[in-house]
Amino acid sequence: MNGLSMDKKPFITGLIIGLISNTFGVLIVGILAAKISERSQGVLEILELAVLENFIGKLISLGAILNLICFFYFIRKQQDRHAGGVLVATILIAVGTFITKL
């Protein structure tokens, strides 16, 4: 038997999907902010500015909206273990965002 049991694979897959979807969400929010802002040149500048001006937590929180979509998709398909992984990813991101605020 391999290191991961068959029961943990869907959970870990959901966790990875949650982390990746949040990353894409942050990039999408960064791109939208770059398009809206007249003073920025691109998404990297927006992310650097977010870190410097301490609003990266807000961008990360907005990026988590994609996790909501993934979560409800897995619930609708009755893939509860995948949905649980996405939920844990969202909680980890929320805790990480909270820690950066301290």
Answer whether 82's CB lies under 8 Å from 10's CB: yes
Question: Is a pLDDT exceeding 70 seen at residue 37?
Answer: yes
User: Cα(69)–Cα(56) distance, rounded to whole angstroms?
Assistant: 21
Inside any domain, residue 71:
yes
Inside any domain, residue 84:
yes
Inside any domain, residue 1:
no
Residue 95 burial by Cβ neighbours in a 10 Å radius (0-12, 13-18, 19+): exposed
Inside any domain, residue 5:
no
pLDDT tens for each residue of 63-86 = 899 999 999 999 999 999 999 999
The number of distinct structural domains making up the chain is 1
Indicate the pTM of the whole model. 0.84
Inside any domain, residue 2:
no
Q: What value does the mean pLDDT of the chain take?
A: 87
User: Cα(37)–Cα(7) distance, rounded to whole angstroms?
Assistant: 46
Residue-level pLDDT at 1: 46
pLDDT tens for each residue of 26-36 = 999 888 888 88
Inside any domain, residue 44:
yes
Identify the domain containing residue 85 by its residue range: 10-101
User: Cα(95)–Cα(12) distance, rounded to whole angstroms?
Assistant: 19
Residue 36 token pair: 């809206």
